[in-house]
């Protein structure tokens, strides 16, 4: 009913290979993008800075991790360490006088080089062993950052992010910082979307599915796993730098500890492995659900004037949050993106029951 | 074209191949038959680099293949299909076949990032070539279906398509007709013959259906317990008393 596939005829391979063959999807995407661009004009400062901005940045980071976990099928439990490398590199680079744009890229490059070194060592093993090896990366990087004063400025230190200048123009407002994050997010999203229709992305999926069959048609499994580590670490590094510059406007070691890594993995899995849209859903749920539940529980307790102490009140949202994640994954193991997809397919033919898809 | 010279392979104490020599000439369909566990697939795995032989030489167009990694051997234009299917789930039929073009493409992350300026042209050109093979193997209907929902007979054909689009010089088919009904078998046999005629392929065919082997192959090699039993034209090789004994058992063995 809502999506009309009838009448869409592709007469060239270019149009058959479009990112969104259904016109409705294209308009929806444009509408969402337009809303995202003008969001600073109708959202309050609080909503912009503490909800939308981190959502955009974390979606970027989740996309990077999704490239590795969802496309190439390699787990990574040290993603926050990758982001930390990017953040510290970019801040030090900009402090040393490098332009902000190049600083972001430098952050990505240093992250990807270090990520690649760990990746090359870690990829000798598979599955759970890989998970543990990447965990080691997290600990090593954490330790180095804290214990090398040149990087962190001391174990308890906070490094202030220098002022951002884009193309020589200072960016001082909240809106400006948000738009920078948005641009990075759009670029990364476009990369991930295109990855699904190029030989590069196909090779990654092939390695994930059956590495021996990939080898037999000329894909070197090791090379492509490394490439996945490289790209994912690059995106992670840039996302980390954006997080430090645009959101925290400072960097401390605590921002990138193990629980942050776990959170990133949760975003990818809850959102949907290998799904671009899923990374946005996942980041949204993991970041915003706790805030939302907190407010909800607080509001219910206040309106019903329930006799519960603040201790209990602060824990109920956490319990609900955990339950929510478990519930979503039980309901649909392929994540929120799959739930969305099911809904969409349902409404394709509504009010009839059977879809061809 | 392909020469295996005295290759041997052990797995622990099990001797899978003992001093086997086979050769395939250009343009030939060469059959490889033998009872289960006789080492047919081991030969294929030796040629394609999964289990290099511990002894002996393998030459492809006068180049040694021993010690090369599988993906390097693929670049020399040796393609194969698998006995129990090795298609990539989570991809459409079309993408699976496009995977076969991998060695002719220049995949890169940067090209993907600049898709519209860089990767698109190559993708679309390769797509046209792939469509030729899709037409040839009559896979138009299932092109856009996810691979998981396609029936087995078609999946075998898709795997053949993936191997063919790589424009191989040597095509190794490991039981392409296992689990097929008579009609599907006939289709497959036709495709193999046509592919040779149109594309000048050389084929190494492993198959259990003797009617197919006898009808398709120019020459047949028979293996049993890792050793070569017989070799020659299908009619002669398959009626060799040793071959009949290996397949059906001999009276002597029963008496003993």
- CATH code for position A134: 1.10.3470
Residue B135 has pLDDT above 90, yes or no: yes
pLDDT at A217: 93
A355: in domain: no
Question: What residues of chain B lie within 8 A of the CB of A216, using their CB?
Answer: 48, 70-71, 74, 79-80, 82, 86
> How many angstroms separate the Cα of B61 from the Cα of each of A89, A251, B51, B77, B208?
51, 60, 20, 11, 28
Out of A220, A231, A274, the one facing B71 most closely (by C-beta) is: A220
Distance from CA of B82 to the nearest CA of A (A): 8
Which has the closest alpha carbon to B50: B32, B33, B71, B36? B71
Residue from the list B88, B89, B115 with its beta carbon closest to the beta carbon of A198: B115
> By CA distance, what is B119's nearest residue in A?
A198
- B127 chain-A contacts, CB cut-off 8 A: 13, 17
Closest residue by Cα to residue B196 from B219, B174, B168, B222: B168
> What's B139-199 look like in SS3?
CHHHCCCEHHHCCHHHHHHHHHHHHHCCCCCEEEEECCCCCCCHHHHHHHHHHHHHHHHHH
Specify which of A31-40, A289-298, B76-85 reaches the highest per-range mean pLDDT: A31-40
* Binary contact (B50, A212; C-beta < 8 A): yes
- Residue partners of B143: CB distance under 8 A and separation at least 6: B92, B93, B94, B134
pLDDT recorded at residue A4: 66
Work out how many domains chain A is built from and give that number.
Answer: 1
pLDDT band for B239, please (50, 70, 90 cuts): confident
- pLDDT at residue B255 in the model: 45
**Nearest chain B Cα distance for residue A320, angstroms:** 33
> Whose CA is closest to A338, among A264, A262, A263, A274?
A274
In A, which residues are within 8 Å of B80 by CB distance? 216
Cβ A16 vs Cβ A10: under 8 Å: yes
Half-sphere exposure of A259 (CA within 13 A, CB side): 4
Return d(Cα A219, Cα A251) in angstroms, integer: 40
Residues above pLDDT 70, as percent of chain B: 97
Read off the pLDDT band of B245 (50, 70, 90).
confident
CA distance B114 to chain A (A): 8
The answer, yes or no, to whether residue B201 has pLDDT greater than 60, is yes
SS3 A297: helix
What distance in Å separates the CA atoms of residue A317 and residue A301, rounded to the nearest whole number? 12
What distance in Å separates the CA atoms of residue B73 and residue B248, rounded to the nearest whole number? 37
HSE toward the beta carbon, residue A162, CA cutoff 13 A: 18
pLDDT value, residue B256 = 43
Using CB atoms, pick whichever of A200, A209, A215 lies closest to residue B112: A200
Instruction: Flag if B124 and A201 touch (Cβ within 8 Å).
Output: no
SS3 A169: strand
Residue A162: which H helix or E strand, with range?
A: none
Cβ contact A218–B50 (<8 Å): no
Q: What does the alpha-carbon distance between residue B165 and residue B130 come to, in Å, rounded to a whole number?
A: 6
Best probe of the B interface among A197, A210, A216, by most B CBs < 10 A, is: A216
Question: Most distant CA pair in chain B: distance in Å?
Answer: 75
Cβ B120–A14 below 8 Å, yes or no?
yes
Residue A307 and residue B228: Cα distance in Å, rounded?
86
Give the ranges where chain A is alpha helix by DSSP (H). Answer: 13-16, 23-42, 45-47, 53-66, 79-95, 100-122, 127-147, 149-152, 174-195, 199-209, 211-216, 221-242, 258-271, 276-303, 310-331, 336-349
Asked whether residue A284 is assigned to any structural domain, the reply reads yes
- Partners of A164 in the beta sheet? A171
Return mean pLDDT, chain A: 91
User: What is the location of CATH 3.40.50.300 in chain B?
Assistant: 2-77+168-255
Per the structure, the complete domain to which residue A339 belongs is given by: 43-349
Convert the pLDDT of each residue in A298-312 to its tens digit. Answer: 898 889 888 778 888
Check: CB of residue A355 under 8 Å from CB of residue A348.
yes
pLDDT above 70 for B254 = no
CATH, domain range B2-77+168-255? 3.40.50.300
- This prediction has a pTM of 0.92
SS in 3 state form for chain B? Answer: CEEEEEEEEEECCEEEEEEEEEEECCCCEEEEECCCCCCHHHHHHHHCCCCCCCEEEEEECCEECCCCCHHHHHHCCEEEECCCCCCCCCCEHHHHHHHCCHHHCCCCHHHHHCCCCCHHHHHHHHHHHHHHHHHHCCCHHHCCCEHHHCCHHHHHHHHHHHHHCCCCCEEEEECCCCCCCHHHHHHHHHHHHHHHHHHCCEEEEECCCHHHHHHHCCEEEEEECCEEEEEECHHHHHHCHHHHHHHHCCHHHHHC
User: ipTM of this model?
Assistant: 0.91
Q: Which residue in chain A is spatially nearest to B146 when comparing CA positions?
A: A357
C-alpha span between B56 and B5 (Å, rounded): 6
Is residue A36 situated within a structural domain?
no
- Identify the band that residue A192 occupies on the pLDDT scale cut at 50, 70 and 90: very high
| Gap between the Cα atoms of A56 and A90, Å rounded | 19
- Do A218 and B162 make contact, defined as CB atoms within 8 angstroms? no
Look at residues A185, A184, A229, A234 and name the one whose alpha carbon lies nearest to residue A59.
A185
Quick one: average pLDDT of B42-52? 94
Residue B252 has pLDDT above 80, yes or no: no
What is the pLDDT averaged over residues A4-25?
Answer: 84
A77 assigned to some structural domain? yes
* pLDDT higher than 50, residue B178: yes
**What is the percent of chain A where pLDDT is above 70?**
97
User: Which tokens belong to B95?
Assistant: 């993408």
Nearest CA in chain B to A207: B88
Q: pLDDT confidence of A3, banded at 50, 70, 90?
A: low
Give residue A22's pLDDT. 82
- Contact between B18 and B8 under an 8 Å Cβ cutoff? The reply is yes
**Cβ pair A217:B109 closer than 8 A:** no
pLDDT digits (tens, 9 = 90+) for B52-78: 999 999 999 999 999 999 999 999 999
Average pLDDT over residues A38-56: 95
B80 contacts A213 by C-beta, under 8 angstroms: no
């Amino acid at each position: 009913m809502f999506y009309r596939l009838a009448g869409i005829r592709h007469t060239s391979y270019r149009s058959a290979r479009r990112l969104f063959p259904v016109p409705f999807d294209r308009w929806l995407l444009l509408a969402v993008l337009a809303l995202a661009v003008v969001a600073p004009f109708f959202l309050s400062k609080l909503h912009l800075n503490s909800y939308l901005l981190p959502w955009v940045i974390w979606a970027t980071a989740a996309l990077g991790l999704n490239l590795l976990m969802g496309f190439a099928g390699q787990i990574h439990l040290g993603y926050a360490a990758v982001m930390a490398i990017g953040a510290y590199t970019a801040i030090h680079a900009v402090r040393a006088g490098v332009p902000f744009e190049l600083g972001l890229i430098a952050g990505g490059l240093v992250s990807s080089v270090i990520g690649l070194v760990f990746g090359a060592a870690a990829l000798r093993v598979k599955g759970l062993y890989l998970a543990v090896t990447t965990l080691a990366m997290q600990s090593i990087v954490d330790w180095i950052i804290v214990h090398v004063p040149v990087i962190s400025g001391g174990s308890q230190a906070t490094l202030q992010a220098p002022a951002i200048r884009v193309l020589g123009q200072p960016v001082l407002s909240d809106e400006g910082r948000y738009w920078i994050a948005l641009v990075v997010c759009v670029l990364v999203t476009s990369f991930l979307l295109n990855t699904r229709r190029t030989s590069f992305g196909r090779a990654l999926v092939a390695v994930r599915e059956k590495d021996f069959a990939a080898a037999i048609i000329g894909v070197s499994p090791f090379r492509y796993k490394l490439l996945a580590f490289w790209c994912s670490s690059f995106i992670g590094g840039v996302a980390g730098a954006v997080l430090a510059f645009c959101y925290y406007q400072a960097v401390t070691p605590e921002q990138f500890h193990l629980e942050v890594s776990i959170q990133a993995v949760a975003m990818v899995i809850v959102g949907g492995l290998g799904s671009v849209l899923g990374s946005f859903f996942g980041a949204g749920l993991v970041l915003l659900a706790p805030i939302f539940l907190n407010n909800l529980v607080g509001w219910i307790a206040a309106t019903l004037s329930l006799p519960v102490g603040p201790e209990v009140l602060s824990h109920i949202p956490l319990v609900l949050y955990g339950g929510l994640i478990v519930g979503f994954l039980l309901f649909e193991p392929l994540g929120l993106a799959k739930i969305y997809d099911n809904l969409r397919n349902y409404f394709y033919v509504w009010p009839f029951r059977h879809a061809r898809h | 074209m392909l020469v295996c010279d005295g290759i041997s392979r052990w797995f622990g104490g099990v001797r899978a191949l003992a001093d086997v020599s086979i050769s395939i000439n250009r343009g030939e369909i060469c059959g490889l038959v033998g009872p289960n566990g006789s080492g047919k697939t081991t030969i294929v795995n030796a040629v394609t680099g999964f289990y290099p032989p511990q002894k002996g030489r393998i030459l492809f167009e006068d180049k040694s293949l021993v010690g090369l990694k599988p993906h390097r051997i693929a670049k020399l234009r040796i393609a194969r299909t698998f006995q129990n299917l090795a298609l990539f789930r989570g991809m459409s039929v079309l993408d699976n076949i496009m995977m076969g073009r991998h060695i002719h493409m220049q995949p890169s992350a940067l090209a993907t990032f600049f898709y519209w300026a860089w990767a698109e042209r190559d993708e679309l050109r390769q797509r046209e070539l792939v469509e030729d093979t899709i037409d040839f193997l009559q896979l138009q209907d299932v092109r856009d279906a996810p691979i998981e929902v396609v029936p087995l007979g078609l999946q075998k054909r898709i795997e053949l398509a993936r191997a063919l689009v790589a424009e191989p010089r040597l095509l190794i088919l490991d039981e392409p007709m296992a689990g097929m009904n008579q009609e599907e078998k006939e289709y497959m046999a036709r495709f193999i013959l046509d592919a040779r005629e149109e594309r000048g392929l050389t084929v190494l065919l492993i198959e259990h259906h003797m009617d197919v082997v006898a009808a398709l192959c120019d020459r047949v090699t028979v293996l049993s317990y890792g050793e070569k039993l017989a070799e020659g034209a299908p009619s002669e090789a398959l009626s060799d008393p040793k071959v009949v004994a290996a397949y059906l058992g001999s009276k002597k063995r029963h008496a003993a």
